[in-house]
Structure 1
Amino acid sequence: MKTTLTFPIHKTKNSKLPETDFSNLVFGRTISDHMFVADYKNGEWTDLSVEEYKPLELNPANATLHYGQSIFEGMKAYRTSDGKISVFRGDANWARLNESAERMCMPTLPEEIFMEGLMQLLELDRDWVPTANGASLYVRPFMFATDDYIGVKPSETYKFMIFTCPVGMYYSKPVSVKVETKFTRATEGGTGYAKTAGNYAASLYPALQAQKAGYDQLLWTDGKNHSQIEESGTMNVMFKINGKLITAPTHTGTILKGITRDSVIQLAKDWGEPLEERFLGIKELEEALKSGDLEEAFGTGTAATIAHIERIHVNGTDYYLPEKGSDAFSNRVLRELDGIKYGELPDPHGWIIKI
């Protein structure tokens, strides 16, 4: 999109690039040089700027610290084969951020502020976009309340920010998951579809118990009866049973509307793959595991893109899935998405924003 929006850009005098080991990137640990900042006060967004990445000063009475008005997004920028920078579906992240904002009683953000802030930040820190195969620049837009007031009510002021970090692969190998039937991530009428910090805070304890038991992630089930699969801890989840893809629908408001999920569904439709957006019952999953009808299970998300699932624990038993061949749907769709993102394949749906 074209915009006439302008704002000050303050470049750091002490770049961290020379001391950064791009061959040893731990996801989320290395932060790039700059950040975009905007403040909401008196009913409008103001004080837009790109600044040196640095700590924030917060009043101990900051509303977010006490009442959790905080939302965020996750997206990636890639170094294409011709050396340029591409951003995957940034407009979808902007739209989802605003959907989360409305649910959390926060102000929506104009598209031109989101996109121009993102573009200027990525242009300034373009040398932070890795060149290694499978690496990318993770982009974290987020918004939080800034009222210094103790009282349960929506804040009147907010801060929106974007920072970035170079990353390698989120999962370096297939993952093991455990079906969770005690704890609940989200219920109808709650905030499950919003990308808000509280959802993740509530998931930490049960996820930690699963990790202690030897599993990478949970498969969350519905909060009413714990009888059907919803999503995984860091991603949506898909199953291929008897040649048909099955993934949970998002209309209940308990599941995050994953942008990678949506992209995989679109590609499946393009390829004429049988697809059902419906809930998969635990009993149906267990029967498919026992019979061998479950051909593939994988997660979809910005961090992981496609995360192959090799082991599923359900009702006290571990089931192992067969190793995936190169022609498996999950591998095909991963190659297609990576090809589009890195500029090696056509982009028929206009998902890529180039810098």
Structure 2
Amino acid sequence: MSTPVFSVRPTTTPVAANVRNEILGNPGFGQYFTDHMTHVRWTQASDWHAAEVRPYGALTVDPASPVLHYAQEIFEGLKAYRHADGSVWGFRPERNAARFRQSARRLALPELSDELFIESIRSLVQQDHVWVPTPQDDSEECSLYIRPFMIANGRFLGVKPAAEVDYYVIASPAASYFKGAGKPVSIWLSSHYNRAAPGGTGAAKCGGNYAASLVAQQEASEQGCEQVAFLDAAENKWVEELGGMNLFFVYRDGRLVTPALTGTILEGVTRDSVLTLARDIGLAPEERAISIDEWREGINSGEITEVFACGTAAVITTIGALVTENDTIGDPEQANGEVAQQLRKALLDLQYGRAEDKHGWLMKLA
């Protein structure tokens, strides 16, 4: 397939340079957005067409659009990193492209080719490259968070796949997801809610999964926790994932265990990268079922020495304690995050171009 060409319609009202620089100095996460976005249209008659980079702005959606009534939509999340020479690089965007296609199939949406997906990101980054933050030193974590998403559009209230679809990419300069990046966080175990069930949409990156997790996240916040962990829907005993991150368990004998992909867990790009990097530092990764009882007993006996979560936004974050209705597993003050920090540094050094890209994971965007 030939590389898609995006027409460019520059904004006439870009954010002033001094304002942009102030934002880049303290961007937070997901609060500010670049001057432009990309858009591609799909219809049954014309397939994908009208690819363009256009000014960031409000969308036109009919009140009867199926995305509003039946949640037929998907999204992705990835980052662009500024290297020391000023160039901008993406990290394994082809994996996000593949997962986007997988999510589209599950939500009965048209599949976007990998070439179109990657070029939509590249075109936006090249247009808005000045929005990619520059780290001041190796300890600063800043990047351009990129959010591709696809929504069903049109005007009808019948329960059926949409005949019109819009694909967009927006971008937002970002600092660390959690305050005090790298510090242990506390997690709440949800005992009343499940994130996904067999045959459901757990393996797809769609908004409904996240909407369903919000009430459990509210519970977590009320308990003084930063995130929520979910168990399986069938037996309510097998650990699955957090609201937006995958879980890993470090064992005393050098094993690194993560819940196996069963169709109810999102196949994280960071998760897959950690499995590879673990081998590079001498760990023995395993993908298998792990129960909440094994988590509890492993921490209490010392067999499990660390627990951490990973995802694009948060990178790798040590879990200091799991808070349940009946007990607390672990202690943030005593949490040993040595392996998590070693993997975190290896991943960040690679993403920012400070280490050799042995696995061919980086892609130049600008």
- Provide TM-score, normalisation by structure 1: 0.96
Q: Among 62, 72, 77, which residue is 1:74 paired with?
A: 77
1:25 is aligned to 27
State whether structure 2 residue 121 is matched by structure 1 residue 111. Answer: no
1:6 is aligned to 5
Change (3 A) 1:317 1:17: farther
Confirm or deny: 8 A CA contact 1:3 1:116 kept in the other structure.
no
Q: Among 318, 336, 341, which residue is 1:324 paired with?
A: 336
Secondary structure, counterpart of 1:303 in structure 2 = coil
Q: How does 1:1-355 map to 2 (within 5 A)?
A: 3-18=2-17, 19-20=19-20, 21=22, 22-41=24-43, 42=45, 44-132=47-135, 133-173=140-180, 174-242=184-252, 243-250=254-261, 252-314=262-324, 316-318=326-328, 319-321=330-332, 322-324=334-336, 328-354=338-364, 355=366
Confirm or deny: 8 A CA contact 2:39 2:54 kept in the other structure.
yes
Whole-Å separation in 1 of the counterparts to 2:6 and 2:327 = 57
Whole-Å separation in 1 of the counterparts to 2:114 and 2:224 = 42
Secondary structure, counterpart of 1:320 in structure 2 = coil
Shift of 1:228: 1.3
Shift of 1:3: 4.7
Whole-Å separation in 1 of the counterparts to 2:359 and 2:220 = 38
Can you list the C-alpha shifts for 1:227-253, whole angstroms capped at 9, x where unaligned? 011001110010112232110011x10
4+ residue segments displaced more than 3 Å: none
Opposite residue 163 of structure 1, the aligned amino acid is I
Shift of 1:275: 1.9
Secondary structure, counterpart of 2:341 in structure 1 = helix
Unpaired segments of 5 or more residues in structure 1? none
Confirm or deny: 8 A CA contact 2:188 2:223 kept in the other structure.
no
Whole-Å separation in 2 of the counterparts to 1:153 and 1:270 = 47
Identity of aligned residues (%): 38
Secondary structure, counterpart of 2:211 in structure 1 = helix
Shift of 1:269: 2.1
Can you list the C-alpha shifts for 1:252-311, whole angstroms capped at 9, x where unaligned? 100000000000001112333122211211111111122233211111100001011112
Structure 1, 277-286 or 31-40: larger mean CA deviation: 277-286
Can you list the C-alpha shifts for 1:53-112, whole angstroms capped at 9, x where unaligned? 000111110110000001000000000011110101111100000000000000000122
Whole-Å separation in 1 of the counterparts to 2:243 and 2:218 = 11
Structure 1, 239-248 or 307-316: larger mean CA deviation: 307-316
Secondary structure, counterpart of 1:190 in structure 2 = coil
Secondary structure, counterpart of 1:324 in structure 2 = coil
Confirm or deny: 8 A CA contact 1:29 1:165 kept in the other structure.
yes
Confirm or deny: 8 A CA contact 1:238 1:297 kept in the other structure.
yes
Q: How many residues align?
A: 351
Confirm or deny: 8 A CA contact 1:70 1:144 kept in the other structure.
yes
Whole-Å separation in 2 of the counterparts to 1:167 and 1:54 = 19
Unpaired segments of 5 or more residues in structure 2? none
Opposite residue 6 of structure 2, the aligned amino acid is F
Opposite residue 121 of structure 1, the aligned amino acid is L
Whole-Å separation in 2 of the counterparts to 1:281 and 1:6 = 49
Whole-Å separation in 1 of the counterparts to 2:34 and 2:208 = 26
Confirm or deny: 8 A CA contact 1:178 1:218 kept in the other structure.
yes
Opposite residue 12 of structure 2, the aligned amino acid is K
